[in-house]
Amino acid sequence: MKKVRISVVKYANSYPFVWGIKASHIDELAVVETDHPSECASKLINGKADIGLVPVAALPEVGNYEIINNYCIGAVKKVKTVMLLSNNDFKDISSIFLDYRSRSSVALARVLAMHMWKREFKWLGTSGEFDFTNIPDKHAVVLIGDQCFEYEPNFRFGLDLAEEWKKYTGFPFVFACWIANKKIDVKFLKKFNEALKSGLENIDRVVEDFSNSGVIKGKTLKNYLTYNIDYILDENKKKGMELFIDLISKT
């Protein structure tokens, strides 16, 4: 039987999902790859993966997709890993670099700029060679992922974009959710969703196993996974998702 192809985000916020997949041996029944969020989206859009933890901003591009469970990468307050960083006061910023690894966070920055901040900026692209720590005067950068913990202290100014969204809309923000672009075997899907659940129910073991894997370690990692990331895709988050997708179309 052909193995199911799964794309999961490679950042610390997905450690519980990765742990659950490995602990339950789902990876023996599937081809599991860890990717930047934008790559997860591309794989589902281009049919190179069957299941993915896909940025919400990319969902309209996937086309015929189905949300396969009630798990996500979300935040009900500060997320700490989606930041607008600068060495200038916000009022003095004229240009913003956009993290090439992101889809939802880049779209979120544009939505907030138009609808909440009422500001126009020059939007600038980045690449793998971009120096995220060396931003010119009157510039800012949208930075995502674990490196926010490492780089934020180098900047004088920072905005947490999940917190800004909550202030503007009253809703939590969903960065990515689990979708499939085709019909998945029901038995496999049941095992897969049980695997994700097991990761979320074993955060202490997740922290123990991943504590030396990246920038975020130990107690800081546990606090991040417990208090900054919210994994349950409840009705309030779904309403926030719908609003976000609608605002993207108007931005």
Encode 123-146: b = buried (16+ Cβ within 10 Å), e = exposed. Answer: eeebeeeeebeebeeebbbbbbbb
Same-fold call for 4-74+173-249 versus 82-169: yes
Strand pairing report for 82-86 and 139-144: antiparallel
Superfamily of domain 82-169: Periplasmic binding protein-like II (3.40.190.10)
CATH, domain 4-74+173-249, list 2.30.30.60, 3.40.50.12780, 3.40.190.10, 3.30.70.560: 3.40.190.10
27: confidence class by pLDDT, cuts 50, 70, 90: confident
pLDDT of residue 213: 83
Average pLDDT over residues 41-54: 95
Tens digits of residue pLDDT in 62-106 = 988 999 999 999 999 999 999 999 999 999 999 999 999 988 999
Residue 249 has a pLDDT of 92
Distance CA 26, CA 46 (A): 23
Domain map (residue ranges) of the chain: 4-74+173-249, 82-169
Confidence of residue 1 (pLDDT cuts 50, 70, 90): low
pLDDT greater than 70 at residue 134: yes
From residue 1, alpha-carbon distances to 33, 44, 151, 170 in Å are 19, 20, 45, 46
Q: How far is CA 250 from CA 58, 110, 138, 188, 210, in A?
A: 15, 10, 27, 38, 40
CA dihedral 20, 16, 164, 119 (to 10 degrees): -70
High-pLDDT (> 90) share of the chain, %: 89
CA dihedral 181, 178, 196, 186 (to 10 degrees): -30
Rounded to whole angstroms, how far apart are CA atoms 62 and 75? 23
Is residue 119's pLDDT more than 70? yes
Tokens of 91: 């009022």
pLDDT digits 0-9 by tens, 139-178: 999 999 999 999 999 999 999 999 999 999 999 999 999 9
The residues near 219 (Cβ < 8 Å, ≥ 6 apart) are none
